[in-house]
């Protein structure tokens, strides 16, 4: 497994463990899909939420959001904001720390730290 695949899997699990305020029929999309769809807009360099929703899959048959991130359907931007805005930013601190530790452990951060391998 490549590091990127591992990071994406961890990110999906982190979104799945996020507080979900929805009840009843409002919860038709998993909170992990909503989070990954918001992440996809930045990660896949879509110019907007709308372009992510309407991204044509016809050229290759599947979109990168589906293939790389496992997203079946991207919700509208208002719904994503409503559902994700309540998640405290601290919920994602451990993901950031995991990636930094992983990069530091592999020596990848030494380029950014003046050649030092003991952290910046």
* Tokens (6 digits) for 38: 């918001």
Within-domain flag for 91: yes
Within-domain flag for 13: yes
Dump pLDDT digits (tens) for 65-109. 777 788 877 778 888 888 888 899 999 999 989 988 988 888 877
Within-domain flag for 114: no
**Tokens 């720390």 map to which residue?**
97
According to DSSP H, which parts of the chain are helical?
3-16, 31-43, 49-53, 64-69, 77-84, 93-105
The residues, ordered by sequence, that sit 6+ positions from 43 with a Cβ below 8 Å of its Cβ are: 69
Q: What is the pLDDT of residue 28?
A: 77
Domain range spanning residue 74? 3-107
How far, in Å, CA of 22 to CA of 33, rounded?
14
Dump pLDDT digits (tens) for 32-72. 888 988 888 888 887 877 777 666 454 555 677 777 788 87
Dump pLDDT digits (tens) for 8-22. 999 999 999 998 877
For the chain, the domain total comes to: 1
Q: What is the pLDDT of residue 58?
A: 44
Q: How many Cβ atoms are within 10 Å of 80's Cβ, its own excluded?
A: 20
């Amino acid at each position: 497994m490549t590091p990127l695949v591992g990071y994406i899997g961890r990110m999906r699990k982190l979104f799945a463990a996020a507080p979900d305020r929805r009840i009843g029929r409002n919860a038709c999309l998993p909170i992990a899909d909503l989070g990954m769809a918001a992440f996809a807009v930045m990660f896949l360099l879509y110019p907007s939420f709308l372009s992510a929703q309407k991204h044509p899959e016809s050229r290759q048959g599947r979109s990168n959001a589906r293939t790389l991130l496992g997203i079946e359907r991207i919700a509208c931007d208002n719904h994503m904001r409503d559902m994700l805005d309540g998640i405290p930013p601290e919920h994602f601190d451990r993901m950031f720390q995991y990636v930094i530790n992983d990069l530091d452990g592999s020596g990848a951060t030494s380029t950014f730290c003046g050649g030092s391998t003991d952290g910046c």
